[in-house]
Amino acid sequence: MNESQRASTLFIRLAFIAASSAFIAMPQILWSLYGYQGIALISLESLFIVLGFASLLCGLVEPLPQVALSSGRKLWSILDTNAGKKRISFKLAPIGILVYALYFFVPVALSRIEHYRTLPAVLEAILFILTFVFLASLVIIYFLEAKRPRSLAHWYYIPISALAITWAVAFWYGSPAYPTDEMLIDFYSAHLVMSGINPYVASNTSGVFGYIHSTLPGYPLSIGTPLLTGGLVTSISYPALSLIAYVPAHFLGLPPTVTLLPLYAIPAVMLFLTYSGEKSRLLSLFPVFILLLNPAYLIQTGLGYPDIVWVVFLMFSIYSYKKPIMSGASMGLAMAVKQIPWLIFPFFLFFVYRELGRKEAIYWALFAALAFLLPNVPFILNNPASFFQAILAPGFDPLMGIGFGPSQLGFLGIAPLSREFFTVVVICLSASFLMLYIVYYDRLKLAFLAFPLLIFLFNYRFLLDYVVFWPIIALIVPAMIKISGNDTRGSSKRISSFPGRNKAIAICLAILLLGVPIAYHESHSQPNGLSIGNINIGSSDGQNITAITLNLGLVHTNVSYGQVMYRIVPWSQMPNLNGYLWHFSNLTLENNSSATITLVPDNSLQQIPVNGKYRIIAYYGDLSSTMSFTVSQGKVS
């Protein structure tokens, strides 16, 4: 493979990965515009995730599909020819200036919005300076390239660093102090650890919202995670490194988002160092710009989630896989932050086994286990039952359904699908993918990084945070595939000689064709003791609905009227993924099995417009009932 072919192959892979990030971002955009709606929107959101999976898979398989290889090389020949005629700084300058201008105005604009941080004058001055540095460095590079075209790679650190610092400041100052209850609970748990208290004992973190209200009055409880049995989640649900990451913030007296901000630069640095040896300067910068232009990554930077910790560790683990002790330890630390990377552990272990051998795979797994235990052992020894109950809570606790994809059919009441149904689907998909990965290993190898996109799509609470980082991690893979030289093979060549391939495929199909229908049958056969009817509304100002009256039926259940809770979902834009949470103010018992209930919003922010289409959901535990209604000119239909 000559230099031009290697460069074009690398470019194609990176383009596929970039496209995957774009597809994954689409469901969030659709939800921002339309909220929760019907089957058509659910199907469209799911389609974009499937396209993201397919695109990422195409970018990672060995070899590349022949169609992509031939068309991509034609496109690269055009870009490569232009790169020889025009200087790289001239080609990048218009895009860079536009992006930089957007990043510069984000903090200035958002700092004027209520409930967001006020941007200090000194930081506005810093942004002006960074703007000058960014533009001046592009000008300098433009003039120097004519004389020294091959020795300017280090100069690109200047504009890229200025760009990175600007968007870091922009999005940090454009986000709330505690954007999610997850960060709030992790931060409070770090506070408890520094006080010598075990946060994995649920009662110790029960005062988390009282703590935050003492430091940040007016904090909106509506962004909390409601339980289907009442109340909000107040206990930590992640391994210990997620809270240890916020200990420096407490020690130094800094906001939690600041502590992890520097870590968001590490993937960019790793990509720059990995690709800086490419002879094509355009190609050497392409992965970094894919990262810096990824909207999901920019938003995550401002939110300061601890996810970046496991992303950095996992990225390094993949890159250093030939050193099993170092790679395994890094993988263990990634799993000690969140449960998300647990999903690929068996795939990665098999990858190490096939690439390095049984002995190295054992070392890798051993050091992964030791690294995982290192930050968790003190809490396990203190109270093992509480620890394991906490980290298993996301899969077993009765959490309110939110998010994207097919699970909306269940938690919106469109189809009788329970949480258990989606759990079975996720298990079946994971088992099937692992078997297919073993069978087609020679072609898939590091392509297992694409599997979480399709598996998490069927999670009951599918949030985009579960999938946005996988294309980012995968950006480092093309450089590793390129070195192996496997892309010279034709895509029509039979890759795997696994002896039981046909049997394995049949087993996978059997798992899906039997497990999923059985799960649906069990979900559908569960008795539903709730029913809603006769909806009427009341409005005190003529603009917003301030009361809803309905008839609630209870049959064959031990649940009382006072235990049932209510959630209203508009078929339009929404304030958050939870929707509007209302409670009953009074009830009139009609007979032994029904009552007339009057509902009111939890607060004024939970009021809904007097005109619109809504879905009201009554729920308690596994029981739920839903009814859609439309309000027009004060009348319900």
CA dihedral 594, 599, 602, 608 (to 10 degrees): 130
Residue 188 phi, psi (nearest 5): -65, -35
Note whether residue 169 is domain-resident. yes
Q: Which residues pair with 298 in a beta bridge?
A: none
CA-CA distance, 637 to 632, in Å (whole number)?
8
Domain boundary among 488, 510, 540: 488
CB atoms within 10 A of CB 86: 11
CA-CA distance, 463 to 451, in Å (whole number)?
16
Hey, which of 135-139, 286-290, 346-350 has the most confident mean pLDDT? 346-350
C-beta pairs of 108-111 under 8 Å, 24+ apart in sequence = 110/170, 110/173, 110/174, 111/173, 111/174
**Does 553 lie in the same domain as 479?**
no
Tens digit of pLDDT for each residue in 406-456? 999 989 988 888 888 888 889 888 988 988 898 889 889 999 999 999 999
**Does 542 lie in the same domain as 481?**
no
pLDDT of residue 397: 87
| Residues ≥6 apart with Cβ < 8 Å to 68 | 12, 16, 58
pLDDT of residue 533: 87
Q: What is the mean pLDDT of residues 373-385?
A: 94
Q: Is the peptide bond before 65 cis (omega within 30 degrees of 0)?
A: no
CA-CA distance, 402 to 378, in Å (whole number)?
33
**Does 117 lie in the same domain as 62?**
yes
CATH of the domain at 572: 2.60.40
Instruction: Please determine, for residue 93, whether its predicted confidence score (pLDDT) is greater than 90.
Output: no
CB atoms within 10 A of CB 313: 23
Q: Answer yes or no: are the C-beta atoms of 497 and 456 closer than 8 Å.
A: no
Instruction: Please determine, for residue 485, whether its predicted confidence score (pLDDT) is greater than 60.
Output: no
Tens digit of pLDDT for each residue in 560-615? 888 899 999 998 888 788 888 898 888 888 877 889 999 998 877 788 888 889 99
Note whether residue 401 is domain-resident. yes
Instruction: Please determine, for residue 392, whether its predicted confidence score (pLDDT) is greater than 60.
Output: yes
Domain hosting residue 596, numbered range: 530-636
Residue 114 phi, psi (nearest 5): -65, 145
pLDDT of residue 95: 52
**Does 459 lie in the same domain as 313?**
yes
Note whether residue 518 is domain-resident. no
CA-CA distance, 507 to 545, in Å (whole number)?
54
Note whether residue 432 is domain-resident. yes
Q: Give the residue with greater pLDDT, 109 vs 321.
A: 321
Domains contained in the chain, number: 2
Give the CB-side neighbour count of residue 1, counting CA atoms within 13 A. 18
pLDDT of residue 489: 40
Q: Give the residue with greater pLDDT, 295 vs 399.
A: 399
* ∠ Cα 571 576 580 (to 5°): 65
**Does 567 lie in the same domain as 452?**
no
User: Residue by residue, what is the 3-state secondary structure of 149-189?
Assistant: CCCCHHHHHHHHHHHHHHHHHHHHHCCCCCCCHHHHHHHHH
Identity (one letter) of the amino acid at 89?
S
CA-CA distance, 278 to 432, in Å (whole number)?
38
pLDDT of residue 591: 79
CA-CA distance, 144 to 130, in Å (whole number)?
21
Task: Identify the H or E element spanning 600.
Answer: strand 594-601
- Tokens 């032994």, residue located: 592
242 secondary structure, DSSP code = H
Q: Answer yes or no: are the C-beta atoms of 216 and 166 closer than 8 Å.
A: no
Note whether residue 250 is domain-resident. no
Hey, which of 16-30, 113-127, 524-538 has the most confident mean pLDDT? 16-30
**Does 478 lie in the same domain as 534?**
no
- Of the pLDDT bands very low, low, confident and very high (cuts 50, 70, 90), residue 364 is very high
DSSP for 356-392? H-HHHHHHHHHHHHHHHHHHHHHHHHH-HHHHHHHHT
pLDDT of residue 636: 84
CA-CA distance, 143 to 93, in Å (whole number)?
13
Residue 144 token pair = 């120097």
Instruction: Please determine, for residue 92, whether its predicted confidence score (pLDDT) is greater than 70.
Output: no
- Of the pLDDT bands very low, low, confident and very high (cuts 50, 70, 90), residue 491 is very low
Q: Answer yes or no: are the C-beta atoms of 207 and 230 closer than 8 Å.
A: no
Q: What is the mean pLDDT of residues 519-542?
A: 73
Length of the chain: 637
Torsional sign, CA 122, 124, 130, 135: negative
**Does 606 lie in the same domain as 474?**
no
On average, the pLDDT of the chain sits at 80
CB atoms within 10 A of CB 147: 8
Note whether residue 415 is domain-resident. yes
- Of the pLDDT bands very low, low, confident and very high (cuts 50, 70, 90), residue 457 is very high
pLDDT of residue 131: 63
Note whether residue 632 is domain-resident. yes
Note whether residue 508 is domain-resident. no
Pairing between β-strand 580-591 and β-strand 635-636 as defined by DSSP bridges:
unpaired
Q: Give the residue with greater pLDDT, 439 vs 128.
A: 439
- Mean pLDDT lowest among 3-17, 179-193, 490-504: 490-504
- Tokens 């025009």, residue located: 86
**Does 536 lie in the same domain as 484?**
no
Q: Which residues pair with 626 in a beta bridge?
A: 617
pLDDT of residue 606: 82
Tens digit of pLDDT for each residue in 242-258? 999 888 888 877 777 77
CA-CA distance, 265 to 286, in Å (whole number)?
16
Hey, which of 131-135, 373-377, 605-609 has the most confident mean pLDDT? 373-377
CA-CA distance, 468 to 404, in Å (whole number)?
13
- Mean pLDDT lowest among 127-141, 190-204, 412-426, 456-470: 127-141
pLDDT of residue 270: 86
User: Residue by residue, what is the 3-state secondary structure of 530-550?
Assistant: EEEEEEEEECCCCCEECEEEE
Q: Give the residue with greater pLDDT, 214 vs 341.
A: 341
Q: How many helices (H) and strands (E) in the chain?
A: 27, 10
**Does 401 lie in the same domain as 278?**
yes
Q: Answer yes or no: are the C-beta atoms of 128 and 162 closer than 8 Å.
A: no
- Tokens 């946005």, residue located: 468
C-beta pairs of 515-522 under 8 Å, 24+ apart in sequence = 515/424, 515/425, 515/427, 515/428, 516/424, 516/425, 516/428, 518/424, 519/420, 519/421, 519/424, 519/425, 520/417, 520/421, 522/418, 522/420, 522/421
Q: Which residues pair with 587 in a beta bridge?
A: 597
Domain boundary among 419, 454, 488: 488
Q: Answer yes or no: are the C-beta atoms of 501 and 535 closer than 8 Å.
A: no
DSSP for 396-462? HS-BPP-SSSTTHHHHTTSS---HHHHHHHHHHHHHHHHHHHHHTHHHHGGGGGGHHHHHHTTSTT-
**Does 548 lie in the same domain as 473?**
no
Q: Give the residue with greater pLDDT, 26 vs 257.
A: 26
Tens digit of pLDDT for each residue in 227-242? 998 888 989 999 999 9
| Residues ≥6 apart with Cβ < 8 Å to 297 | 264, 291, 468, 472
pLDDT of residue 493: 36
**Does 348 lie in the same domain as 283?**
yes
Percent of the chain with pLDDT over 90: 31
**Does 385 lie in the same domain as 300?**
yes
- Mean pLDDT lowest among 86-95, 221-230, 351-360, 619-628: 86-95
**CA distance readout (Å), 457 to 50, 152, 232, 369, 461:** 8, 43, 25, 28, 9
Percent of the chain with pLDDT over 70: 72
- Of the pLDDT bands very low, low, confident and very high (cuts 50, 70, 90), residue 486 is very low
- Of the pLDDT bands very low, low, confident and very high (cuts 50, 70, 90), residue 505 is low
- Of the pLDDT bands very low, low, confident and very high (cuts 50, 70, 90), residue 497 is very low
CA-CA distance, 359 to 353, in Å (whole number)?
8
pLDDT of residue 182: 83
Instruction: Please determine, for residue 113, whether its predicted confidence score (pLDDT) is greater than 60.
Output: no
Domain boundary among 488, 505, 540: 488
Three-state DSSP at 114 gives: coil
pLDDT of residue 81: 46
CA-CA distance, 60 to 17, in Å (whole number)?
8
